[in-house]
Amino acid sequence: MKIIRIEEFSKTKIRIDTDENLVLVLYKADLRRYNLAEGTVLEPKQTELLLTEILPYRAKARCLKLLQSKDYTEEEIRRKLTGDGYPEDVIDVAVQYLYKFHYLDDERYVKLYYQSKCTGKSKKQIIQNLQQKGIRKDVIFSVLETLEPDDVEGGDLYCIRKLLYKRKYNDEIADYEEKEKVKAYLFRKGFDISDINICMRNFSWENM
């Protein structure tokens, strides 16, 4: 395998293109460390070292650093590593490592995310957000079905009432225009219109 082009990837990294369509993103210091230059023919052992040891180790370290600050889904981790220039095979190894040692768990992520958002977002909106994060719909619904009422502070009805309380809504004194504005506001947040009507009916923030 021959290196056909080396170009800057970032302040500290370079991108290496080979004649076999393999792309490697390494540190600039690696050029000297591994004697790499345009026109260099990579020996099989050298390629194996980079793809099975050096890059997987760095990808795992990158993941652990990311996970120190917050939880990520598998899809989010893959996007991060792809943006860092890691080959797909290396990303697969890193993701398998994270699952093996439970650093990554989409089911746990769904449960924690729902518990933290259920008092401010509708269930529909939470599901949409989780799907945008790359979590499969079947995984989301499977987890949500297992949640007992005690696992969460409330559901959509609780959330709607909380939002009505924040807006100091009073059904007894609100005119038609205000009621329609509140309904539209809640509907845009993803709540079902029947749930909205139930919660708005005779609601008074003074009685909360």
Domain limits of the chain? 1-42, 48-104, 106-151, 156-207
Closest to 170 measured CA to CA, from 208, 131, 142:
208
CATH number of 48-104: 1.10.10
Q: Top-level CATH class of 1-42?
A: mainly beta
pLDDT at 198: 84
- On the question of a common fold for 1-42 and 48-104, the answer reads no
pLDDT at 148: 56
Decide: residue 47, CB within 10 A, 0-12 exposed, 13-18 middle, 19+ buried: middle
Tokens of 181: 């504005």
Number of H helices and E strands in the chain, helices first, is 11, 3
Which residues does 153 contact at the CB level (< 8 Å), separation at least 6? 115, 118, 119
pLDDT at 205: 64
Phi then psi for residue 199, to 5 deg, are -75, -35
Closest to 100 measured CA to CA, from 56, 51, 50:
56
Low-confidence ranges of the chain (pLDDT < 50): 150-152
pLDDT at 113: 87
Q: Are 14 and 85 in contact (CB under 8 A)?
A: no
Closest to 64 measured CA to CA, from 113, 97, 110:
97
Q: Are 16 and 3 in contact (CB under 8 A)?
A: yes
pTM to 2 decimals? 0.68
pLDDT at 150: 45
pLDDT at 123: 82
Q: Are 137 and 131 in contact (CB under 8 A)?
A: yes
Q: Top-level CATH class of 156-207?
A: mainly alpha
